[in-house]
């Protein structure tokens, strides 16, 4: 967990303040990671596997995550399921822009992640060319275990960015009108 930089000497007045702030960030992040509301953007055959993972058979909501909200304004995890072509890309971008911060993006399956074998005139070669993706799930389609793995990894990530997320929201002068800067680990794309 990243802590705010502090030159506080242990036992001085500043140390407890820093400690409280860090704990607060942890608590907020803990609350966030177990109350993910997802917006499923389902375009293709991965949707079948997504239904299986999301609904009764495997029930991804038992991780305290990924309860579907069918309005992007009430969602904070955009899960992109299936092939995204250039015709629908502006719609996806608009859905993403409508979501309130903090928000996370999951690319579900090979097509959403890289374009898959649709290396042609029509298909976006991975939604990370148009959106900042937090977690990508491999597979064509991915098995439910991969989906849960991705959700757990996203929860870890939310927990890690906790304090910075609180700070960035607090510092921002106009919450609700302008989105604060995205928090993104430097290694999100290695090459």
Interacting residues toward other proteins by CB under 8 A: 86-87, 89-90, 92-93, 114-116, 119-122, 124-126, 128-132, 189-191
Q: Is 110 left (phi over 0), alpha (psi -120 to 50) or beta?
A: alpha
- What is the residue whose two structure tokens read 């942890």? 26
Q: Strand locations in the chain, DSSP E?
A: 37-42, 67-68, 77-81, 104-108, 135-137
Shortest distance in whole angstroms from residue 131 CB to other proteins? 7
**What is the rounded distance in angstroms from the CA atom of residue 109 to the CA atom of residue 111?**
6
27/122 with CB nearer other proteins: 122
Shortest distance in whole angstroms from residue 130 CB to other proteins? 5
Shortest distance in whole angstroms from residue 3 CB to other proteins? 30
98/159 with CB nearer other proteins: 98
**What is the rounded distance in angstroms from the CA atom of residue 132 to the CA atom of residue 134?**
7
Shortest distance in whole angstroms from residue 69 CB to other proteins? 24
32/103 with CB nearer other proteins: 103
25/82 with CB nearer other proteins: 82
Q: Which of 94, 122, 125 is nearest to 112 (CA)?
A: 125
Q: Which of 110, 108, 126, 113 is nearest to 60 (CA)?
A: 108
113/155 with CB nearer other proteins: 113
**What is the rounded distance in angstroms from the CA atom of residue 93 to the CA atom of residue 105?**
11
Shortest distance in whole angstroms from residue 107 CB to other proteins? 13
């Amino acid at each position: 967990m990243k802590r705010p930089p502090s030159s506080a000497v242990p036992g001085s007045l500043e140390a407890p303040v820093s400690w409280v702030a860090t704990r607060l960030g942890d608590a907020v992040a803990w609350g966030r990671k177990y109350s993910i509301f997802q917006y499923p953007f389902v375009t293709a055959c991965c949707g079948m596997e997504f239904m299986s993972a999301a609904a009764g058979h495997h029930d991804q909501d038992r991780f305290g995550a990924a309860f579907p909200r069918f309005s992007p304004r009430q969602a904070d995890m955009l899960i992109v399921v299936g092939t995204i072509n250039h015709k629908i890309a502006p719609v996806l971008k608009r859905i993403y822009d409508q979501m309130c911060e903090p928000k996370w993006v999951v690319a579900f399956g090979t097509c959403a992640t890289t374009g898959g074998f649709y290396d042609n005139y029509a298909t976006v070669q991975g939604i990370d060319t148009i959106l900042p993706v937090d977690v990508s799930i491999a597979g064509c389609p991915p098995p439910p275990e991969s989906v849960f793995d991705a959700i757990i990894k996203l929860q870890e990530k939310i927990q890690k960015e906790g304090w910075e997320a609180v700070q960035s929201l607090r510092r921002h002068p106009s919450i609700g009108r302008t989105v604060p800067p995205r928090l993104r680990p430097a290694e999100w794309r290695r090459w």
